[in-house]
């Protein structure tokens, strides 16, 4: 929801960052790989009980993940870049979930449910994107929903900061994912006829 509706407010800053990185000679794929390397370290920092560093690297990777797409659209977007971007996003999320699971094993069952909901949610999202004839600014049709990447990062941040309530926050995240899946399935039924 925030990615879709608040993007216009942060896009000017994203554009400036993208222009700066392009001027410095960075490629969109290079920034995607950098965002991945930074983001995947978040799980390690969670496990090492460094929550502030974990949150910092998570959000920095998320920002660079937005910048790389803008860079690609300013140069030459590629299917390979899209594949890297989407795949690396999931590995960063898995890193956070694994870091939390190993740090707080009592919540592992809820984190497993969250992983399942993310897998189902991304399956619906990517399948609709691949089957839809609609096009957007991205290289495939992007379905808006209650839980987009920013909401996920907010919930991951709450899970890291308020680890005492990790199971409860994780189950709220699962519920948000399930609502998003239902939204996207309802839209898919309308547009994939």
- 110: pLDDT strictly greater than 80: yes
- 136: pLDDT strictly greater than 60: no
Question: What are the structure tokens assigned to 30, written together?
Answer: 């290079």
Give 100-103 contacts, CB < 8 A, sequence gap 24+.
Answer: 100/43, 100/46, 100/159, 100/160, 100/163, 100/166, 102/47, 103/46, 103/47, 103/49, 103/163
Q: What tens digit of pLDDT does each residue of 53-104 get?
A: 999 999 999 999 999 999 999 998 888 988 999 999 999 999 999 999 999 9
Hey, what CATH class is 2-191 in?
mainly alpha
C-alpha–C-alpha distance, residues 27 and 15, integer Å: 14
Question: What are the structure tokens assigned to 121, written together?
Answer: 């949610």
> Measuring CA to CA, how many Å separate 28 from each of 20, 31, 41?
12, 5, 20
The reported pLDDT for the residue numbered 43 is 97
Mean pLDDT of the chain: 90
Q: Which of 53, 84, 57 is nearest to 68 (CA)?
A: 84
Q: Where are the domains of the chain?
A: 2-191
- 124: pLDDT strictly greater than 80: yes
The whole-model pTM stands at 0.88
Q: What tens digit of pLDDT does each residue of 11-62 get?
A: 889 999 999 999 999 999 999 999 999 999 999 999 999 999 999 999 999 9
Considering Cα of 166, then 167, then 172, then 173, what sign does the dihedral take? positive
Q: What tens digit of pLDDT does each residue of 142-189 get?
A: 667 777 888 999 999 999 999 999 999 999 999 999 999 999 898 888
C-alpha–C-alpha distance, residues 40 and 91, integer Å: 7
- 134: pLDDT strictly greater than 80: no
Q: How many helices (H) and strands (E) does the chain have?
A: 8, 0
Q: How far is CA 97 from the centre of its chain?
A: 13
Residue 145 burial (10 A CB sphere; 0-12, 13-18, 19+): buried
């Amino acid at each position: 929801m925030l990615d879709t509706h608040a993007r216009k407010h942060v896009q000017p800053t994203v554009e400036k960052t993208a222009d700066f990185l392009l001027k410095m000679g960075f490629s969109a794929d290079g920034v995607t790989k950098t965002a991945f390397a930074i983001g995947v370290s978040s799980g390690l920092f969670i496990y090492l009980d460094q929550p502030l560093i974990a949150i910092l690297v998570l959000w920095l990777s998320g920002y660079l993940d937005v910048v790389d797409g803008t860079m690609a659209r300013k140069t030459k977007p590629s299917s390979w870049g899209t594949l890297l971007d989407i795949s690396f996003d999931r590995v960063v999320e898995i890193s956070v979930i694994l870091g939390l699971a190993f740090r707080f094993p009592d919540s592992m069952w809820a984190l497993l449910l969250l992983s399942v909901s993310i897998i189902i949610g991304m399956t619906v999202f990517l399948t609709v994107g691949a089957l839809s004839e609609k096009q957007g600014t991205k290289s495939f049709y992007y379905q808006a929903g209650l839980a987009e990447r920013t909401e996920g990062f907010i919930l991951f941040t709450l899970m890291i900061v308020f680890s005492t309530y990790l199971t409860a926050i994780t189950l709220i995240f699962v519920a948000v994912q399930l609502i998003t899946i239902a939204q996207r399935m309802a839209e898919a039924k309308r547009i994939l006829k």
